[in-house]
Structure 1
Amino acid sequence: MSTGKAGLSKSLNAFHLWGLAVGLVISGEYFGWSYGWESAGTLGFLITTIIVAAMYTAFIFSFTELTTAIPRAGGPFAYANRAFGPTGGAIAGFATLIEFLFAPPAIALAIGSYLNVQFPGLDPKLAAVCAYVIFIALNIAGVKIAATFELLVTLLAVFELLVFMGVVAPAFSVTNFAANGWAGASAFSPVAIGGIFAAIPFAIWFFLAIEGVAMAAEEAKDPRRTVPKAYIAGILTLVFLAFGVMIMAGGSGDWSQLSNLNDPLPQAMIRVVGEGSGWTHMLVWLGLFGLIASFHGIIMGYARQMFALSRAGLLPEVFSKVHPRFHTPHVATIAGGIVGIVAIYSDSLISVAGMSLTATIVTMAVFGALVMYIMSMASLFRLRKTEPDLDRPWKAPLFPILPAIALGLACLAMLAMIIYNFEIFVIFAVLMILGTTTAALLRRKETATATAGE
């Protein structure tokens, strides 16, 4: 292994990037979101999802401006660093890192749960660890191999979601979907409105991590042309799938039976076609592709984020090492995997406020995402003012209205998240303080070393 800092390989086309955009997120259609039904009911959660989908659509159409103007592996870190300096860059960078480090263990646990449906004797946590080992190795093997694999499993995952919607459609009933649709409260009562806000992290899970394409921009062919195509096609694909899956699953029977499960889609299909049906077995096996697509893609994302932070001097230099043969950030990839495996076995430390381990990890990842979204939109406004002549191959449409909508909704979601998940927010804040403090100390050491060298 070399200790040098070789460059990243540029080998990804627009189709690869679309596969990454959808693949990063698509596990959110398979699990995680149904926890929102417990807080808000189906009707309340539908409203939450509409608001969050609007936020993400506005965000992606605006965020693409930054990605094409500054196509760097650090993504949001690079934008905030340019707009607000090292402190702003550190805040955005570590928030993104928390998002991408905490999402994979939740997905790995879901992979274990799906496999447990077929193999009841298999420990889901052991399966989750095995998933880490396999996909860390695949990520290290090369970005084009990893991205091509990502594209294939994403296509299979999209196909399977369409199959799911088609198979359960005959059992769909508006009456089923609307039954107790406000989670025991009356429509738009204070309790129901509170549930709508409390369900925000689980609606965000439908779309979380799509921004990870920005972290692959440095490895894309002609990112100024390919990234906008991938982002726009990706968000439209995900909006359609999110609403289709949620509505069809909720209307196929008693939705409350699915609200606390890591495998809601197989369970929804079982009650429609029976446990022994070939459709159910197909969903379990092909459903794994959706989880694998996101798991694999987010590993790519956290590795590039650690690489970029290290390259900028905000993390130890070791994390910016690139494999001499495969040109991938192998040390960062392995280090992030170790963090994820520790999280999987830290139930008593991570699971708080009576939430399941999966729900807690999802919420932690969402806190990181929201801080990153806020910093990214603030960076967009700042750079429009400070660098009006910056080459922008894509400009946010309806500026400043669309970015302002994304920023306002992200701030509203962040406030609601803090109110309804304060204990997890405290843990998130501690991690952010540790990260930014470490970055400040490393910068100070680097400055002192440079001064001494003079």
Structure 2
Amino acid sequence: MNKQHGSHEDKAERYELKQTLSTLQLWGIAVGLVISGEYFGWSYGWAAAGTLGFVITSLFVAAMYTTFIFSFTELTTSIPHAGGPFAYARRAFGPTGGYIAGAATLVEFVFAPPAIALAIGAYLNVQFPSLDPKHAALGAYLLFMGLNIIGVAIAATFELVVTVIAIFELMVFMGVVAPGFSIANFTKGGWSGQDVFSLGAIPGIFAAIPFAIWFFLAIEGVAMAAEEAKDPKRSIPIAYVTGILTLLVLAIGVMVFAGGSGDWTTLANINDPLPKAMKFIVGDNSGWLHMLVWLGLFGLIASFHGIILGYSRQIFALARSGYLPHYFAKVHPRFKTPHRAILAGGVIGIAAIFSDEMIKIGGQTLTANIVTMAVFGAILMYIVSMLALFKLRRAEPGMERSFQAPFYPYFPAFALFGALVCMGTMIYFNPLIAAIFAGVLMLGYVYFRLTRSQRETPPQNEVFEPSEELA
């Protein structure tokens, strides 16, 4: 009897994560996951909409994210599970709903890191012109996958430190370019060469949506650290609310100061807009510029490192519930981290980095296409999550909700509306990437249907009721 009990404990330990994360560390993860979006990616929106058009896009997306996070926090605290959106959708809609949310989240978190890794390479290339950005990106993957494997407490502490440094650097950037700021620079050609009163700027405003989302993409990844939080019902709401407010201030400040520093059109299609913006003010050889490049890497590293944590927990949770091969559900016997899941996501990301000759879609850069693919996954997940919130409010009114979405049902309804608008416009402006995204989901669904037996005997399925029907 004792031997059998021991074997159950041993088995559980192989599939469980350690609860070690504090509120401050969760805030560091929330901001760190996203903060690279302040350093690059968003400026592609200027190419589509102009500076003024992109302001409108960004304000709409910021409102969507704010209402989404306040609503999403209710789900995260009610169901603190490493699968995050996968767990909420499965609880609300059953296994198929779980698959849709899990697959969408996986696309978001697996495709975002290679875009960030390429930006890390671009920043290093500024300092070392002979260094191939792709080789630098590969080195970043190897280094930070290793750090994530060593342990979540170490990884989260590192995340907090680099996030604080990244915030400091963004403030330094704004302070250095402020003396040369000109509102005339920011507004010149601000409607992407169109007259806003002729409605010619409106298509660009919608086309820029993916790049406004990049300002905030992946903040929801804190949900995937919920099982590792010491007190998730208290710490996660604090981390989410303070995190989204921090990011709102930084996003507005960086966009406005960069656009007003000089000719913004030269910043619209590059991976390192902040160093280039600072050159307008301090010149090519200023010590400020070199400091920005070096410290700016911390922002990229914070998001890159944090999203590795996020995608690994999503792969781990899906495998633990039988949606992916059980092989990826094992945790390291010493470090108690999902090492196999960390490596699996890294393999996909590295392949994406070196596939630029195959991924030339719609005349956009590789980075822009990867960003768009990640955003498709995020938006689908937001839609399913808000639908899950409404469903669970009706189906399980007695569920413990230590945090409730304020202004219900208006906040989640606006978040859902915003996500639907974003999805519709993204499909319209990116039909080929949308088709690829749909194809990935369909292939995954075929696997899902063929592996029912895998979900009937998952290694661990502790979150859901034993009576739940497994498709």
Band of TM-score, shorter chain: over 0.9
Q: Residue 314 of structure 1 contacts residue 440 of structure 1 at CA under 8 Å; is this kept in 2?
A: no
1:144 match:
153
Of 359, 362, 378, which aligns to 1:353? 362
Q: Is residue 263 from structure 1 mapped to residue 311 from structure 2 by the alignment?
A: no
2:466 match:
none
Q: Is residue 84 from structure 1 mapped to residue 93 from structure 2 by the alignment?
A: yes
Question: Closer, same or farther in 2 for the Cα pair 1:97/1:189, shift >3 Å?
Answer: farther
2:84 match:
75
Output the CA distance in 2 between the equivalents of 1:14 and 1:448: 35
Offset at 1:349? 2.3
TM-score, scaled relative to structure 1 = 0.97
Offset at 1:448? 9.4
Of 312, 330, 337, which aligns to 2:346? 337
Output the CA distance in 1 between the equivalents of 2:245 and 2:408: 20
Of 180, 184, 188, which aligns to 2:189? 180
Of 247, 253, 270, which aligns to 1:238? 247
Q: Is residue 227 from structure 1 mapped to residue 246 from structure 2 by the alignment?
A: no
Q: Residue 106 of structure 1 contacts residue 358 of structure 1 at CA under 8 Å; is this kept in 2?
A: yes
1:314 match:
323
Of 381, 393, 398, which aligns to 1:372? 381
Structure 1: runs of 5 or more not aligned: none
Of 126, 129, 133, which aligns to 2:135? 126
Offset at 1:447? 4.3
RMSD after superposition: 1.4
Structure 2: runs of 5 or more not aligned: 1-9, 460-471
Residues 221-256 of structure 1 show CA distances to partners (whole Å, capped at 9, x for unaligned) of: 110000000000000000000010000000111000
Q: What number of residue pairs does the alignment pair up?
A: 449
Offset at 1:445? 5.0
Residues 368-427 of structure 1 show CA distances to partners (whole Å, capped at 9, x for unaligned) of: 000000000000000000000000000000000010000000000000000000100001
Output the CA distance in 2 between the equivalents of 1:435 and 1:125: 28
Q: Residue 110 of structure 2 contacts residue 311 of structure 2 at CA under 8 Å; is this kept in 1?
A: yes
Deviation >6 Å, runs of 4+: none
Of 162, 172, 186, which aligns to 2:171? 162
Q: Residue 322 of structure 2 contacts residue 456 of structure 2 at CA under 8 Å; is this kept in 1?
A: no
1:65 match:
74
Offset at 1:435? 1.6
Residues 8-41 of structure 1 show CA distances to partners (whole Å, capped at 9, x for unaligned) of: 0100011000000000000000000000000000
Alignment of 1:25-40 (within 5 A): 25-40=34-49
- Counterpart residue type for residue 100 of structure 1: F
Offset at 1:271? 1.6
Output the CA distance in 2 between the equivalents of 1:388 and 1:439: 30
Offset at 1:449? 11
Residues 309-348 of structure 1 show CA distances to partners (whole Å, capped at 9, x for unaligned) of: 0011000011101001110000000010000000001113
Q: Is residue 106 from structure 1 mapped to residue 139 from structure 2 by the alignment?
A: no
Question: Closer, same or farther in 2 for the Cα pair 1:446/1:297, shift >3 Å?
Answer: closer
Output the CA distance in 1 between the equivalents of 2:457 and 2:243: 45
1:47 match:
56
Q: Residue 313 of structure 1 contacts residue 439 of structure 1 at CA under 8 Å; is this kept in 2?
A: no
* SS state at 1:261 partner: coil
Offset at 1:446? 4.8
* SS state at 1:157 partner: helix
Of 8, 15, 18, which aligns to 1:6? 15
- Counterpart residue type for residue 284 of structure 2: E
Taking only the aligned residue pairs, the percentage that are identical comes to 66
Output the CA distance in 1 between the equivalents of 2:101 and 2:458: 26
Of 95, 106, 112, which aligns to 2:104? 95
